[in-house]
Amino acid sequence: MDPKVMADTMWTLVTAMLVFFMNLGFACVETGFCRVKNSTNILSKNFIVFAVSSIAFWVLGYGLMFGNGTGFMGTEGLLFLGGADNSPATGEAYKGAYTALNWTGVPLLAKFFFQLVFAGTAATIVSGCVAERIKYFAFIAFGFVIVGIIYPIVGHWIWGGGWLAQKGFLDFAGSTQVHSIGGWAGLAGILALGPRYGKYNKDGSINAIPGHNLSLGLIGCFILWLGWFGFNPGSTMAADPDAISRICITTNTAAAAAMLSATVVSTMLLGKPDLGMTINGCLAGLVAITAPCAFVSVMSAFIIGLIAGIIVVLAVIGFDKLHIDDPVGALAVHLANGVFGTLCVGLFAESQWTPGQASGLFFGGGLTQLGIQLKGVVAVAAFVFGVAFLTWQLLKATMGIRVSIQEEIEGLDIGEHGQQTYPEFVTRKPAYSYVSIAERVAE
Amino acid sequence: MDPKVMADTMWTLVTAMLVFFMNLGFACVETGFCRVKNSTNILSKNFIVFAVSSIAFWVLGYGLMFGNGTGFMGTEGLLFLGGADNSPATGEAYKGAYTALNWTGVPLLAKFFFQLVFAGTAATIVSGCVAERIKYFAFIAFGFVIVGIIYPIVGHWIWGGGWLAQKGFLDFAGSTQVHSIGGWAGLAGILALGPRYGKYNKDGSINAIPGHNLSLGLIGCFILWLGWFGFNPGSTMAADPDAISRICITTNTAAAAAMLSATVVSTMLLGKPDLGMTINGCLAGLVAITAPCAFVSVMSAFIIGLIAGIIVVLAVIGFDKLHIDDPVGALAVHLANGVFGTLCVGLFAESQWTPGQASGLFFGGGLTQLGIQLKGVVAVAAFVFGVAFLTWQLLKATMGIRVSIQEEIEGLDIGEHGQQTYPEFVTRKPAYSYVSIAERVAE
Amino acid sequence: MDPKVMADTMWTLVTAMLVFFMNLGFACVETGFCRVKNSTNILSKNFIVFAVSSIAFWVLGYGLMFGNGTGFMGTEGLLFLGGADNSPATGEAYKGAYTALNWTGVPLLAKFFFQLVFAGTAATIVSGCVAERIKYFAFIAFGFVIVGIIYPIVGHWIWGGGWLAQKGFLDFAGSTQVHSIGGWAGLAGILALGPRYGKYNKDGSINAIPGHNLSLGLIGCFILWLGWFGFNPGSTMAADPDAISRICITTNTAAAAAMLSATVVSTMLLGKPDLGMTINGCLAGLVAITAPCAFVSVMSAFIIGLIAGIIVVLAVIGFDKLHIDDPVGALAVHLANGVFGTLCVGLFAESQWTPGQASGLFFGGGLTQLGIQLKGVVAVAAFVFGVAFLTWQLLKATMGIRVSIQEEIEGLDIGEHGQQTYPEFVTRKPAYSYVSIAERVAE
């Protein structure tokens, strides 16, 4: 057995497991940041969505994404991983239906596993956006669409050898492919659903709705941070010592920098260091470094993180002011910083790590790469938002997407699941006054 | 250093760590699914049981299981891993006391670590069955017996070159060896203990006793799912790229399919999608695929999972109707699906992945393998249930196994440990009515 | 690509990720063991401290610790990992600024990642000691000092080729370097801060202050135990099959033994098996085996663990009697057993695993190694306690280190962060009487 294939396969599988584990991270962050009356529902959504992803990506998604085909989508080996494949042959020697991944010499099912857990991440991001008001089965239905169709089509453009890849668009581990897809689809959901009951007053003022369990939130964030050591360094799909070591550190440094800047900025704006903001700062740094993690220096990663931490705080406040009701800050984290991170490739990339392509603006490459990155951001935004919005409307017209107002007030746990997360604990409305973040900034 | 030995050892150790982590998964699921007044006790049991396992398997268990000896048990190198061993030699070149594991070329202590965490899993399954009424020290005593004696003797039959192995019984990662052993021993405990106070009424009707913390339950389930990526693919004890990649996917697909089928079936039967059922569905799929994971196609894994998800729902309801009080559904998950998964080898195995043995019934192999599998199931059931029941009776007669009725009503946390899990939180009996699952089905 | 470099790098990175994850373990244990009113604050401290560590160790710490220089500190390649480095060359072939780590052939950034997560551990230990009364930003400031200066200077002595290394001081994975540094710095903080309000009465009697969430505590402990499989076996920074397998088992055996002995001893002293004591017993065993894990037999590890479990119980009670207010038992775990474990090298080491050095006292090596170990313990104690105490006093004089008495009574969550961890849950003072552990012993 070729030891390189052994090592590469181990690396790919172990990092895929870490990314799989991010499902728990998202479940904990999103549940912790929402109210107790909806907590079973959010746990359930973030749990079953990976089952949905596993089936949808196996049946159709992988083929659409990586099958040989047109610039728009894959057409060979479309269903059930059914195409010929001679992995672990690599490059020129590869003969099969999934040429776009011929650069890594691991077995087909290892590639599938790694790509599956990525697809699942995009779907789970949506869960946070639509939390506390969506019907359970409507969310499941949307999960099949995003993982079976939306995610893999864009994935074909970017990682499947499609038209964006051919233009030189760079998105190493998916600031656009994973995070902004989740964000755009979630934004469409938010607009289709409308805000939660009681979030915005008639006079335009905003009510803060604090999460019910910050311990859960922090557990989630640490699991996500751990998972990102799979997400980014694993995207090599090969145990390349230099690359994976460096990506670990660019990833970690951006997260750390963003935590510090988000904490400082939120303290300046809100008066005190809010743990939720530090958590979202961490995630923002991780999202932002995801696209450029392999192409930039540690110092650049530090700067990217610092900016990401500022962006996320402003975005949380900004989305709220626009009355876009994003219960857990998912848009601020995944959409705003997904876009920012993608553009960072055009700003901070250095040609020593992007062979055959221009450096970013700050490293003498001019505007070339930045232009390509911008084109990708816009194209993905238009396609994903459009198709997702249509899907939500279709679901609205058929099965309905929003629970009744009575159910929403009582809580989705009783309404959708007939149970409570903590049936023996006595709960109440939060004791401290509902002063919204926007109001605290205004003061 | 031979790179294959390096890779194999890393794989074995990393997957063993994941399986070790399943102890936390079991602790969270079982505690979350029980009442708050007994939660410290369950946390304590599921924690200390791995300490007990670590000592018992080192002192005696490993030798009994893998030592050269008779068809019934090991006799060489019995105590403290004391036998000669020339690992990492493999196959013919191996000379030592533990010939049954000579097919993997990793150091003895790596083999021990991997096998230890498996033994610990069997013990921790019992904890769920006997929850909310067993004396803490009685459970600890039983832990020594199951890991030191019961588990390794059966283990010798199946994985130690004993009589079942010689007959061609196949149990790749332990649907029988781990899960059904835990299940049979737990069933014996349930029968020796009797049901919890207040679970069954005199008129035969059943009271549902909801768990106190579904967040904890879901954390546990995801950790277990993650751990299974160690459990099944790690059972190769070698970094064989094709095998480990495929086993990751058969494992994951079965879990996903079972989650979906359990959710659908429980919604049909109970009216709404119960998160506890989806969680147990996931675990059921994982247990069922454990024996056949290396021998079946992804499509077969999908089918096995679908069936497992249905079995677990029916089994939860069925055990309850029989007044077998299994607080967390451990029998439905580990026993019912442990048996089912073992039989699946005789149904779905394909000879391309089981060299030298017949395919299963559905792949042209006739009833041969199915017969062998059935024989194994019955033999293990008889031995484990018998010895475990005897052990429980012996403990009953000496130290006692059940807490007093007063202690049970007040909660084992105060009675056994003198403390509370959440002393500052105000609790109550669950607010919603105690309508049992069986009643909801009957309606 | 050299397969050994691939395997070694993977091992180093994966184990580093496990150690990173220990930050969540510490956050959960420390938060779970404290009161609900301070829980957001502790979560926040244990979260942001790793961001602080990541920046401080990158900017300065790594260079101070591993840069070539004097016996006291590194001076080459001091800032931002800026020194020349030709990793993965090893030994004689190595040319660069960080000669002390030339024995491992992994890329510089892999070494940095592994060493960073260790440095972060020392800082996070302090968090537990100073919990429930320290100002958030004062803790952050101290974090920069310990990771940027204190930890790396001692680290240079021990692992950076400095004066203790030259004397033959052995501390394989850091009983002294990580755990006792954290402990001495925390002790200095405890003395600088004074005990929590309400902990000690005027008549000298002691009030027990139970933690608010033992589920969280156990989650934390299992994560730490898992993390230790990175901490100890990863300290090889190479995938050496024999060494890493053996270290896994010495580590695990010590933890198991300590859990059992701590449970027995605490039951004897307190009447019932306290889960907190079993958890701290586990951690004590892990801390004690950290220094000797590579140098001792499994049987010695078992004995070391048994003793560690006794030490931690006595130390918890002892520190309390001395009115040293250590809210989560961090001194008993990390300081007492950090010292004990370091001395164990001088007692239990066997020369077959410590080439070129004497065996310990119990294996025919006489007092030589024990003397060296003792010298190291004393030197580190004096330096770390001294510098840390000075730093705390400096912070006291400038920004202040202790919150106001009003804030302490109300809780640091409101005072420092303006939020609550569980805003919807109704809480109260613990229902059972405040009988302190010391009183229960006295009875």
Task: Give the tens place of pLDDT for each residue, A164-195.
Answer: 999 999 999 999 999 999 999 999 999 999 99
- Is A422–B14 a contact, with Cβ atoms under 8 angstroms apart? no
Is it the case that residue C126 has pLDDT exceeding 90?
yes
Q: What is the mean pLDDT of residues C4-21?
A: 98
What is the tens place of the pLDDT at every residue in A190-237? Answer: 999 999 999 999 998 999 999 999 999 999 999 999 999 999 999 999
Chains in contact with A, where contact requires at least 3 CB pairs less than 8 Å apart: B, C
Q: Cα-atom radius of gyration of chain A, to the nearest Å?
A: 21
Chosen from C214, C268, C427 to mutate, greatest number of chain B CBs within 10 A: C214
Can you give the pLDDT at residue C433? Answer: 45
Place of tokens 């660069």: C96
Largest CA distance in chain C: 70
pLDDT in the model for residue A438 = 60
Check residue C169 and give its pLDDT: 97
Nearest Cα residue to B221 out of B287, B146, B135: B287
Q: Looking at the domain assignment, is residue B294 inside a domain?
A: yes
- Using the beta-carbon criterion (under 8 Å), do B28 and C272 form an inter-chain contact? no
Domain-located, residue C158: yes
**pLDDT at B437 (0 to 100):** 61
Say whether A421 and B213 touch across the interface (CB within 8 A).
Answer: yes
Indicate if the pLDDT at residue B356 is higher than 90. Answer: no
Residues on chain A touching B245 (C-beta within 8 angstroms): 9, 13, 106-110, 113
Query: pLDDT grade, residue C120 (50/70/90)?
Result: very high
| B435, pLDDT greater than 90 | no
Question: In the complex, which subunits touch B with 3 or more CB pairs below 8 angstroms?
Answer: A, C
Closest Cβ–Cβ partner in A10, A213, A222 for C10 = A10
Reported as a pLDDT band with limits 50, 70 and 90, residue C1 is confident
Residue to substitute from A132, A248, A250, A437, interface C, most C β-carbons within 10 A: A248
A313 in any annotated domain: yes
CB contact under 8 A, B222 and A24: yes
In the predicted structure, residue B284 carries a pLDDT above the cut 90: yes
Q: How far off is chain C from B244, nearest CA to CA, in Å? A: 17
Q: What pLDDT is stored for residue B433 in this prediction?
A: 45
Nearest to B298 by CA among C12, A280, C322, A109: A109
Q: How confident is the model at residue A435 (pLDDT cuts 50, 70, 90)?
A: low
What is the distance in angstroms between the Cα of C97 and the nearest Cα belonging to chain A? 18
CB contact under 8 A, A424 and B35: yes
pLDDT at B285 over 90: yes
**Nearest residue in C to A215, CA atom:** C421
Q: What is the pLDDT of residues C339-390, one digit of tens each?
A: 999 999 999 999 999 888 889 999 999 999 999 999 999 999 999 999 999 9
Please give the pLDDT value at position A422.
Answer: 97
Chain position carrying tokens 């484990």: B384
Residues of C in contact with B422 (CB under 8 A): 212-215
Query: What would the pLDDT profile of C39-75 be if each residue is shown by its tens digit?
Result: 999 999 999 999 999 999 999 999 999 999 999 999 9
For C416, name the nearest residue in chain A, comparing CA atoms only: A272
As for the ipTM of the complex, it is 0.97
Dump pLDDT digits (tens) for C327-343: 999 999 999 999 999 99
The pLDDT tens digits of the residues spanning B35-72 come to 999 999 999 999 999 999 999 999 999 999 999 999 99
pLDDT, tens only, C392-421: 999 999 999 999 999 999 999 999 999 999
Residue B153, Cα to own-chain centre: how many angstroms? 16
The confidence score (pLDDT) of residue C355 equals: 83
Name the minimum distance, in Å, from the CA of B345 to any CA of chain A: 21
Strand partners, A200: A206
Check whether A355 has a pLDDT greater than 90: no
Name the residue in chain A with its Cα closest to that of C81.
Answer: A298
Chain B residue numbers with beta carbons less than 8 Å from the beta carbon of C274 are 417-419
**pLDDT over 60 (residue B434):** no
Choose from B422, B426, B427 for mutation: most chain C CBs within 10 A: B422
pLDDT at C356: 83
Which of B47, B54, B113 lies nearest to residue C218, judging by beta carbons?
B47
* Mean pLDDT of all residues in A269-297: 97
* Residue-level pLDDT at B358: 81
Please state, in angstroms and rounded to a whole number, the distance separating the CA atoms of residues A337 and B279: 33
Structural domain contains residue B315? yes
Nearest residue to A49 via CA among A130, A126, A132:
A126
One-letter-per-residue 3-state SS of chain C: CCHHHHHHHHHHHHHHHHHHHHHHHHHHHHHHCCCHHHHHHHHHHHHHHHHHHHHHHHHHHHHHHHCCECCCCECCCCCCCCCCECCCCCHHHCCECCHHHCCCCCCHHHHHHHHHHHHHHHHHHHHHHCCCCECHHHHHHHHHHHHHHHHHHHHHHHCCCCHHHHHCCCCCCCHHHHHHHHHHHHHHHHHHHCCCCCCECCCCCECCCCCCCHHHHHHHHHHHHHHHHHHCHHHHCCCCHHHHHHHHHHHHHHHHHHHHHHHHHHHHHHCCCCHHHHHHHHHHHHHHHHCCCCCCCHHHHHHHHHHHHHHHHHHHHHHHHCCCCCCCCHHHHHHHHHHHHHHHHHHHCCHHHCCCCCCCHHHCCCCHHHHHHHHHHHHHHHHHHHHHHHHHHHHHHHCCCECCHHHHHHCHHHHHHCCCCCCCECECCCCCCCCCHHHHHHC
Which tens digit of pLDDT belongs to each residue from C249-259? Answer: 999 999 999 99
Number of structural domains found in chain B:
1
CB within 8 Å: A246 and C109: yes
The pLDDT of A276-300, averaged and rounded, is 98
Chain C residue with the nearest C-alpha to that of B81: C298
Task: Report the residue count for chain C.
Answer: 443
pLDDT tens per residue across span A364-398: 999 999 999 999 999 999 999 999 999 999 999 99
Whole-number average pLDDT of chain A? 96
Q: What is the CATH number of the domain that holds A397?
A: 1.10.3430.10
Q: Read off the pLDDT band of C138 (50, 70, 90).
A: very high
Q: Measured between alpha carbons, how far is A383 from A390 in angstroms, rounded to an integer? A: 11
- Is C17 in Cβ contact with A229 (below 8 Å)? yes
Distances (CA, A) of A169 to A71, A290, A319, B4, C417: 13, 14, 28, 38, 42
pTM, full prediction:
0.97
How far apart CA B291 and CA B294 sit, in angstroms, is 8
Residue A32: pLDDT band (50, 70, 90) is very high
| Mean confidence (pLDDT) of chain B | 96
pLDDT value at residue B439:
63
Residue C192 banded pLDDT, cuts 50, 70, 90: very high
Average pLDDT over residues B297-310: 98
In a domain, C184, yes or no: yes
Cα distances (angstroms) measured from residue C73 to each of A78, B321, C111, C162: 60, 71, 18, 7
pLDDT of residue B429: 79
The pLDDT, as a whole number, for residue C443 is 53
B-C Cβ pairs (cutoff 8 Å, strict): 179
Q: Is residue C441 domain-resident?
A: no
Task: Tell whether the torsion through CA atoms of A405, A408, A409 and A412 is positive or negative.
Answer: positive
Which residues of chain A lie closer than 8 angstroms to B229, CB-CB?
13, 17, 20
The answer, yes or no, to whether residue B392 has pLDDT greater than 90, is: yes
Q: By C-alpha distance, which of A48, A283, A281 is closest to B278?
A: A48
Contact A255 C31 (CB under 8 A): no
> Which chain A residue's Cα is nearest to B429?
A424
Residue range B181-188: mean pLDDT, rounded: 98
Q: Cα dist. A380→A61, A289, A341, A368 in Å?
A: 17, 19, 14, 19
DSSP string, A13-75: HHHHHHHHHHHHHHHHHHHHTS-GGGHHHHHHHHHHHHHHHHHHIIIIIHHHHHSSB-SS-B-
**Most A-contacting residue of B245, B263, B282, B424 (CB-CB within 10 A), to test interface:** B245
The C-alpha atoms of residue C317 and residue A155 are separated, in whole angstroms, by: 59
> Contact C229/B12 with Cβ under 8 angstroms?
no
Please check whether residue C439 lies inside any domain of the structure: no
Contacts of C18 in chain B (CB under 8 A): 17
Contact (CB<8Å) A218/C106: no
Contact residues on chain A for C424, CB-CB shorter than 8 A: 35-36, 212, 427-430
Alpha carbon distance A374, A343 (integer Å): 7
Q: A80 and B221: CB-CB below 8 Å?
A: no
* C55, C219, C417: residue with CB nearest A274: C417
- Using CA coordinates, name the residue in chain A closest to B3: A3
Is B63 among the domain residues? yes
Question: Which residue range forms the structural domain that includes residue C313?
Answer: 3-417
Nearest to B21 among C226, C239, C245 (CB): C226
